[in-house]
Structure 1
């Protein structure tokens, strides 16, 4: 049983803190720059302090191996958070596909969470995805996943990065990422393709009509209408996206733990 102040547990506490600090620096919601940095550090500190008393702490000595373990914990935290972020990025990729067809590809907006430029429709989709994530307590599930990572990836265990299964899993994840983005974008992109076909037929049959003037407002109008009808289907796809995100985090924890 650990006492409240046990000097032998300080190395383990530092390793837990490094993993959670790295996890909060990349995972969605917690990593955004509009969340104060002291809040992130304080949350990681207190969660690490709680987890310290729920784990079987191994013997960890302060030597060169401890420095390697700190690097390992930072990599694990960064990669787990990055997996969650990359899968949610499929929403913005789908928005980029739609913006290109709508004629909005030249107009980007600044994402207030990351400070990077993102597509207009992609940011619209991404906002709904984050609201859905918060509505189903997804941020708690992400923290819960990071907590259970200590059972699959012990503090004193290193990661075998020479395992080719990790690389194959990353390639599979990116394939699924673009497949989900395509499924999100195909209703609007398909409708806009039909609009382009109709405008092409009109341009051949009525040469006096300037389709370049009529085409852009018409495509925007059709896109907004289809987008309104599509929102129910979109929320179902976001639910699948969130389930896939948790599944891939679990898969990577198994791979890093050597399971």
Structure 2
């Protein structure tokens, strides 16, 4: 019993980091994943991480322990949020495409989050999720949280990094990278829709008798879907590149705690 009591405070810190990670990490944070499963998985993953990493037993239950819990929750949230950001690439790209295709007001309910999302973005998100699971990406996420204690131990300096601005700079840089990837992903369709608008505008000037508003919307939807069919074979490599960027960014986040 004394052994359990001596290690319990350290285990709770590990549990807080793992649980907060599962709250926001892609796949695991989905609304249709039962809360009991999330808690049970957090408990066992934290137990494995605690025993494998040889976590410190010298954690004292004092006033600073509350700050340690907050710190571990923030570390887990940052890790999960970074991974989730790269999953939003496909939804942001889908929003760009939907606006150009005329689906700007036609949102659907995303079953993963329960929130409204663009039609094309939701389609791409489901394809990306299936590909992520096929590539065992969820196992890489589990490995990332397990190995996080090698890079960010319980006695980390997260608050100092936040005060120094390293964490905020890293998050801003990650946001810009995500938006750049989203624009690159949507660029072919956006350019095609722009050229279609230019062609319709020229047609309206040459032949005013045509009702462009009646012709334009179905034509843009048809061309957009045709472009999607043509581009889908290349999306596999693009998604793999996005997932690789996600893992590299996670490693870079760990590297913040290694630099003096």
* TM tier relative to shorter chain: over 0.9
Counterpart for residue 189 of structure 2: 188
Counterpart for residue 246 of structure 2: 245
Structure 1 residue 178 and structure 2 residue 176: aligned?
A: no
TM-score (structure 1 length as normaliser): 0.95
Output aligned runs, 1:65-76, within 5 Å. 65-76=64-75
Q: Which moved more, 1:59-68 or 1:30-39?
A: 59-68
Structure 1 residue 19 and structure 2 residue 17: aligned?
A: yes
Cα displacement (A) at 1:256: 4.0
Cα displacement (A) at 1:246: 0.8
Contact 1:154 1:257 in 2 (8 A): no
Structure 1 residue 203 and structure 2 residue 201: aligned?
A: no
Counterpart for residue 100 of structure 1: 99
Cα displacement (A) at 1:112: 1.1
Cα displacement (A) at 1:6: 3.3
Counterpart for residue 49 of structure 1: 47
Counterpart for residue 33 of structure 1: 31
Q: Partners of 1:236 and 1:157 in 2: how far apart?
A: 36
Which ranges in structure 1 are unaligned for 5 or more consecutive residues?
Answer: none
Q: Partners of 1:165 and 1:19 in 2: how far apart?
A: 20
Cα displacement (A) at 1:257: 5.2
Counterpart for residue 229 of structure 1: 230
Output aligned runs, 1:59-98, within 5 Å. 59-98=58-97
Measured on the aligned residues, the alpha-carbon RMSD in Å equals 1.6
Number of equivalences = 257
TM-score (structure 2 length as normaliser): 0.95
**1:6 partner SS:** helix
Cα displacement (A) at 1:149: 0.7
Q: Partners of 1:129 and 1:42 in 2: how far apart?
A: 26
Which ranges in structure 2 are unaligned for 5 or more consecutive residues?
Answer: none
Contact 1:94 1:181 in 2 (8 A): yes
Contact 1:23 1:81 in 2 (8 A): yes
Q: Which moved more, 1:16-25 or 1:202-211?
A: 202-211
Cα displacement (A) at 1:11: 1.0
Structure 1 residue 169 and structure 2 residue 132: aligned?
A: no
Contact 1:69 1:158 in 2 (8 A): no
Cα displacement (A) at 1:254: 2.0
Counterpart for residue 126 of structure 2: 127
Looking at secondary structure, tell me which structure has more helix per residue.
Answer: 2
Contact 1:60 1:156 in 2 (8 A): no
Q: Partners of 2:130 and 2:71 in 1: how far apart?
A: 32
Q: Partners of 2:156 and 2:188 in 1: how far apart?
A: 46
**2:117 partner SS:** strand
Q: Which moved more, 1:55-64 or 1:80-89?
A: 55-64
Cα displacement (A) at 1:165: 2.9
Cα displacement (A) at 1:44: 0.5
